[in-house]
Structure 1
């Protein structure tokens, strides 16, 4: 079957591009907060290669602590990335092996994963009420 560019498929492709760019932005923020000399390098290279992204997540950032807490924008981009990956996995499992069906199911799976991703990111990176009181 040929790939028909319907509005739903076009929206799925645009959302995929948005999540792909958000991955680079989040890695750039995270690398900068962890004291990298070249955070833009990480932000450009990691979305291009899954192997480099895995290296960054599992090896490079593990040995470095954050110099400052994550900003609101960094938490928002992390939420988009986590929801994008969750939606990617869910749509791969739930949709038939057809690119058109995959691109129409993925935005729905992304939207369903967004609240869970928000909860996970806020639980991991969010500020607690005691830290807000003490400054």
Structure 2
């Protein structure tokens, strides 16, 4: 329980950080989906709304769509778009993992989520860089 003003201030700051983190992840994911869908000639508004409303389902569904059912991109993704994808996908995965590994205590969740999100964002970005470097080496 909150015993003093400083405890309530700490909780306010922690939850504010969590809200900002969620907004950054959702915004990055939606903007990256918009750019990619527009580059593939798909309807970016529909895919962006889907990614915003159901991000956990939208990531695998959009990946399958990109692999199997869509046209190729008209332009290759730039560095900004790759970073947005890393933040959106890594952040979503980090939030899901944090929800499973933390107890139902909101303070513990807020303390564990930011580091996990950062780790998963870095991991997705590293995988993307490695995949990009091997694709360019092999000539694909």
Identify the TM-score tier after normalising by the shorter chain. 0.7 to 0.9
Residues 49-88 of structure 1 correspond to what in structure 2 (within 5 A)? Answer: 49-50=54-55, 53=58, 54-58=60-64, 60-61=65-66, 62-64=68-70, 65-88=72-95
Give, in whole Å, the separation in 1 of the partners of 2:30 and 2:62: 12
TM-score (norm 1): 0.77
Deviations 1:96-135 (A, max 9, x none): 112332122111111222321111222345673687xxxx
Q: Which residue of 117, 120, 136 corresponds with 1:128? A: 136
- How far does residue 52 in structure 1 lie from its aligned partner after superposition? 6.5
TM-score (norm 2): 0.74
Give, in whole Å, the separation in 1 of the partners of 2:56 and 2:80: 25
Query: How many residues are matched?
Result: 128
2:43 is the alignment partner of 1:31 = no
